[in-house]
Amino acid sequence: MADVPVIGTNVYQDIAAADAYMVNSVRGADNWAALTDTVKSQCLITATRILDRQPWQGTKYQDAPTQVLEWPRSDVYDRKGELVDETAVPDGIKFGNIELAYDLSQDSSLEISGGQGSNIKRLKAGSAELEYFKGTGGPNGEGSVRFGPEVQEYIGQYLESAFGVETGNAYGTGGEGSFDDDESYPIVGGFY
């Protein structure tokens, strides 16, 4: 028997929250509704396990030393560059948990998919030829990607490499330049 999803213990969203979210989803409302609570539980818990293995920005929230899951986190910035509330799990993580759970319910191989992407072996222009390596995942070895676009849109902004560098140098621009948050960077000429 599957564990019961408990927010903050083994999931970021429980069945009730997932049902409320999915009922408004064009892409999967009927498919999600047709699943048993056991399958929904398994998918939500597995999705959380996958999410918790990702390289997130920041660190686990320090004032909650008994926190089981990776979220909430301190020192995390969203796609707008704004600091995320360190005491709460962002909606992007919650919704990403549900979307990934749904994706897992439709393709369980996503759990073990490395998300290698393309498996193209050869692409030829004359007489138009395209040859693939054997599939690396997905149903019947078709090569699935772990995070679909819906999940990536929700969680991508919180991944360790998702946020830009605060300062840097530019080379090959006629000289070396330094950046800081107080400068503006107008384009004054094209690239040669």
Convert the pLDDT of each residue in 94-141 to its tens digit. Answer: 999 999 999 999 998 888 765 544 555 556 567 776 665 544 444 334
Specify if 139 maps to a domain. no
Instruction: Indicate the number of domains in the chain.
Output: 1
Specify if 125 maps to a domain. no
CA angle 155, 158, 159 (to 5 degrees): 90
Q: For the stretch 6-24, what's the b/e string if a residue is b when 16 or more beta carbons lie within 10 angstroms of its beta carbon? A: ebeebbbbbbebbbebbee
Interatomic CA distance for residues 178 and 184, integer angstroms: 12
Specify if 172 maps to a domain. yes
- SS3 label, residue 123: strand
pLDDT of res. 142: 46
Q: Measured on CA atoms in the order 72, 76, 77, 79, is the torsion positive or negative?
A: negative
Query: Across the chain, what does the average pLDDT equal?
Result: 80
Residue position matching structure tokens 């929230």: 61
Specify if 66 maps to a domain. yes
Query: 146 pLDDT band (50/70/90 cuts)?
Result: confident
Specify if 26 maps to a domain. yes
Taking the C-alpha atoms of 174, 178, 181 and 182 in order, what is their torsion angle to the nearest 10 degrees? -70
Interatomic CA distance for residues 71 and 75, integer angstroms: 12
Interatomic CA distance for residues 66 and 18, integer angstroms: 25
pLDDT of res. 51: 97
pLDDT of res. 2: 72
Q: For the stretch 60-95, what's the b/e string if a residue is b when 16 or more beta carbons lie within 10 angstroms of its beta carbon? A: bbeeeeeeebbbbbbebbeeeeeebebeebbebbbb
pLDDT of res. 123: 60
pLDDT of res. 108: 86
Does the structure show a pLDDT above 80 at 175?
Answer: no
Specify if 88 maps to a domain. yes
pLDDT digits (tens, 9 = 90+) for 24-37: 999 899 999 999 99
Specify if 51 maps to a domain. yes
Question: Rounded mean pLDDT of 40-59?
Answer: 96
Question: Rounded mean pLDDT of 69-89?
Answer: 96
Provide the 8-state DSSP code for 117: -
Specify if 140 maps to a domain. no
Provide the 8-state DSSP code for 140: G
Range of the domain at 87: 15-115+145-178
